[in-house]
């Protein structure tokens, strides 16, 4: 009953966010919301730009890459010299070079894969000045790219798709900072820790044990890490830590924060292209897959753990190993699916302890390309890539030139969409194959057999999708996993963003073709079905052989599928 | 103290920027 009402309230809250946050974001990026214009202007002066100076897609993408290059280098530098910087009560020394490299790339790419324990590695300065800053910036960059691509559909005969510097400034000032601030206040009010004091030691006089309790500025970091679908928590165990996720209510708020912007961006898309129905069509495609995965994974986790059942113990509360009983089996599954179908990757339970087929839920969610609803911005621009492929297939079926929102989808668009859709599966499968083929890769997983394979596949899938969710059964802090993982994250992020911006640029330059009787409609059930089919077929065909070697064979080895 | 690893990391960042600027250049010609 509790899970049912959790779902009902979640739908209501997300419905409100979809309508009003979506509309607000469209106003911000269209330049109609201007109440902070006085605060925007100094940034534009500093950057030597203005909202009137629009960029072609090449300049837009080039600005993004230069900006990212500067930020990743600074992040690396600050982690390497953290021992000489303030806000370091535990006197941590420099973060080792391969780990700093992986972490800088991880937070740049919105992945937040963590090969370190936050409370035992990072100074407060690094947590605030490097990691939290990147959580704002990477989310803003993702949203900016989605908006720039959207302009490709909303503009006619335009050589430009907006201004990168203006878009990220507005995203930061009007959307991310205010919402994250308000959510941070709430989380701290609920008991999430927010302090610059060092850890405290507590002596238990009964058993004579002295325990060190890590503290730090975790509450506000939790706020943006979820709002920006980053997922990299202050503590090693992420949102399973009671000082960052203290109550069932904060757990629910974290889910809402994660899903709000990705779902709401479909409304923003509809509003900007002048057809809310098109936004609704994308939303329904997202909800169909998301809802199915929540149901599937929750059901799987509500079953007994096969290993516990084999010991003759019957559980009436599902698979509770590695789960916080305050959250429960099904809501933990909801949380996990919410984090892996976005690009968030936060955990409030141990995925490694999920039933094999329960672990298949989050893993396959990432393999579908994280478009349901996907990350902040990355979900929208990736599902638009799938939508273009769906339109192309639909056009082939009825023998007409495919169109989407009146824009003809021709060879260039299909090549760019194909590249955007295939980059992620290619890198994930190649890097997984390399890892299981060499000693350095095989040294990572903590389990042998299919479960060990799942741990490696999960790690590269998570990084290639910029998710950051960890199965918690792999030692990734080795030169091999730090460096190859960083390359996986970079290609998985920018290898899709750049084709998406190119698509935006190519489409913006086109005129709109008036709809005719023979036009394939892209705002009805047929289009939704086709888009869902494309997402599942691309993800299924590319990953099914690999998944068969991991979670599926492991589940079957228990003698039953469910 | 900067080490060889730091030098390689910086080289990695430069390679990242160069590679993706190169991708932009390539996609312009698709």
Contact of A93 with chain B, judged by CB distance below 8 Å, is answered with no
User: Is the separation of the CB atoms in A402 and A392 below 8 Å?
Assistant: yes
**Residue A213, φ and ψ in degrees, nearest 5:** -105, 115
- Residues in chain A closer than 8 A to B22 (CB atoms): none
The 10s digit of each residue's pLDDT in A243-302 is 999 999 999 999 999 999 999 999 999 999 999 999 999 999 999 999 999 999 999 999
The CA distance from A78 to the nearest CA of chain B, in Å, is 12
| A486/A144 Cα distance (integer angstroms) | 23
The 10s digit of each residue's pLDDT in A62-72 is 999 999 999 99
| A380/A229 Cα distance (integer angstroms) | 13
Q: Which residue has the tokens 């911006």?
A: A501
Are B12 and A495 in contact (CB < 8 Å)?
no
In this prediction, residue B1 carries a pLDDT of 56
| A105/A79 Cα distance (integer angstroms) | 12
The 10s digit of each residue's pLDDT in A318-341 is 898 899 988 989 999 999 999 999
| A485/A353 Cα distance (integer angstroms) | 23
Is this structure's pTM higher than 0.80? yes
- With H, G, I as helix, E, B as strand and everything else as coil, classify residue A8: helix
pLDDT in tens, chain B (30 residues): 578 999 999 999 999 999 999 999 999 998
Picking from B9, B17, B30, the nearest residue to A412 by CB comes out as B30
Longest distance between any two alpha carbons in chain B, whole Å: 45
The CA distance from B3 to the nearest CA of chain A, in Å, is 9
With a threshold of 0.95, tell me whether the complex ipTM lies above it.
yes
Q: Under 8 Å CB-to-CB from A312, ≥6 apart: which residues?
A: none
User: Is the separation of the CB atoms in A378 and A110 below 8 Å?
Assistant: yes
- Residues in chain B closer than 8 A to A72 (CB atoms): 13, 16
The 10s digit of each residue's pLDDT in A80-108 is 999 999 999 999 999 999 999 999 999 99
pLDDT of A490 above 60? yes
pLDDT band at A348 (very low <50, low <70, confident <90, very high): very high
Gyration radius of chain A's alpha carbons? 23
Q: Under 8 Å CB-to-CB from A267, ≥6 apart: which residues?
A: A18, A19, A21, A22, A23, A26, A276, A279, A283
Closest Cα in chain A to B29: A412
The CA distance from B9 to the nearest CA of chain A, in Å, is 6
User: How many CA atoms does the CB half-sphere of B22 hold within 13 Å?
Assistant: 6
Preceding omega of A373 cis (within 30 degrees of 0): yes
Picking from B14, B21, B27, the nearest residue to A416 by CB comes out as B27
Are B30 and A415 in contact (CB < 8 Å)?
yes
User: How many CA atoms does the CB half-sphere of A102 hold within 13 Å?
Assistant: 22
Q: CA separation (Å) from A60 to A134, A145, A153, A504?
A: 20, 9, 16, 11
- With H, G, I as helix, E, B as strand and everything else as coil, classify residue A136: helix
Q: Are strands A407-408 and A403-404 parallel, antiparallel or unpaired?
A: antiparallel
- Residues in chain A closer than 8 A to B13 (CB atoms): 69, 72-73, 76
User: How many CA atoms does the CB half-sphere of A266 hold within 13 Å?
Assistant: 30
pLDDT band at A1 (very low <50, low <70, confident <90, very high): low
Are B28 and A502 in contact (CB < 8 Å)?
yes
pLDDT of A405 above 70? yes
Closest Cα in chain B to A105: B13
The CA distance from A80 to the nearest CA of chain B, in Å, is 9
Q: CA separation (Å) from A443 to A79, A452, A548?
A: 26, 10, 22
pLDDT band at A152 (very low <50, low <70, confident <90, very high): very high
pLDDT of A27 above 90? yes
The CA distance from A220 to the nearest CA of chain B, in Å, is 29
| A245/A193 Cα distance (integer angstroms) | 9
């Amino acid at each position: 009953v509790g899970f049912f009402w959790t779902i009902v309230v979640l739908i209501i809250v997300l419905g409100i966010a979809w309508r009003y946050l979506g509309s607000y974001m469209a106003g911000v990026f269209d330049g109609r919301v201007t109440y902070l214009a006085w605060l925007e202007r100094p940034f534009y002066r500093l950057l030597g730009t203005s909202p009137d100076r629009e960029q072609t897609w090449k300049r837009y993408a080039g600005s993004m890459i230069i900006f990212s290059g500067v930020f990743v280098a600074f992040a690396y530098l600050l982690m390497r010299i953290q021992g000489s910087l303030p806000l370091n009560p535990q006197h941590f020394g420099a973060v080792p070079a391969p780990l700093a490299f992986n972490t800088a790339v991880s937070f740049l790419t919105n992945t937040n894969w963590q090969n370190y324990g936050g409370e035992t590695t990072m100074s407060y300065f690094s947590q605030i000045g490097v990691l939290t800053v990147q959580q704002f910036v990477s989310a803003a960059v993702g949203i900016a790219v989605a908006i720039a691509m959207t302009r490709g559909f909303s503009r006619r005969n335009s050589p430009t798709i907006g201004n990168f510097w203006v878009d990220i400034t507005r995203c930061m000032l009007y959307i991310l900072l205010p919402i994250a601030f308000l959510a941070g206040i709430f989380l701290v009010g609920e008991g999430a820790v927010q302090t610059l004091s060092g850890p405290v030691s507590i002596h238990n006089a009964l058993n004579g044990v002295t325990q060190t309790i890590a503290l730090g500025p975790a509450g506000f970091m939790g706020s943006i890490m979820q709002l920006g679908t980053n997922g990299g928590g202050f503590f090693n165990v992420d949102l399973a830590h009671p000082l960052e996720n203290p109550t069932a209510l904060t757990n629910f708020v974290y889910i809402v924060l994660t899903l709000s912007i990705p779902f709401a961006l479909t409304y923003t898309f509809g509003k900007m292209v002048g057809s809310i129905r098109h936004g609704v069509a994308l939303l329904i495609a997202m909800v169909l897959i998301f809802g199915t995965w929540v149901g599937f994974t929750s059901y799987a986790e509500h079953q007994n753990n096969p290993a516990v059942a084999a010991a003759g113990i019957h559980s009436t509360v599902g698979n509770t190993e590695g789960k916080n009983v305050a959250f429960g089996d099904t809501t933990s599954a909801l949380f996990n699916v919410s984090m892996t179908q976005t690009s968030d990757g936060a955990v409030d339970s141990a995925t490694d302890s999920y039933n094999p087929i329960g672990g298949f839920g989050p893993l396959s969610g990432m393999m579908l390309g994280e478009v349901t609803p996907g990350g902040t911005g990355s979900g929208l621009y990736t599902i638009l890539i799938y939508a273009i492929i769906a339109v192309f297939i639909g056009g082939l079926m009825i023998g007409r030139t495919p169109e989407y929102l009146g824009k003809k989808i021709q060879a260039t668009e299909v090549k760019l969409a194909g590249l955007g859709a295939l980059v992620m599966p290619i890198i994930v499968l190649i890097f997984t194959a390399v890892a299981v083929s060499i000693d350095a890769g095989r040294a990572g997983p903590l389990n042998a057999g299919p479960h060990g394979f799942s741990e490696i596949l999960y790690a590269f899938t998570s990084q290639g999708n910029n998710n950051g969710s960890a199965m918690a059964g792999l030692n990734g802090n080795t030169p091999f996993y730090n460096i190859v993982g960083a390359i996986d994250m970079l290609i998985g992020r920018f290898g899709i963003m750049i084709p998406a911006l190119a698509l935006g640029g190519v489409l913006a330059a086109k005129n709109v073709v008036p709809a005719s009787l023979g036009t394939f409609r892209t705002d009805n059930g047929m289009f939704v079905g086709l888009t869902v089919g494309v997402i599942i077929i691309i993800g299924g065909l590319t990953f099914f052989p690999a998944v068969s070697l991991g979670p599926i064979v492991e589940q079957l080895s228990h003698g039953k599928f469910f | 103290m900067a080490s060889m690893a730091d030098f390689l990391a910086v080289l990695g960042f430069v390679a990242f920027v160069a590679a993706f600027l190169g991708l932009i250049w390539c996609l312009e010609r698709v």
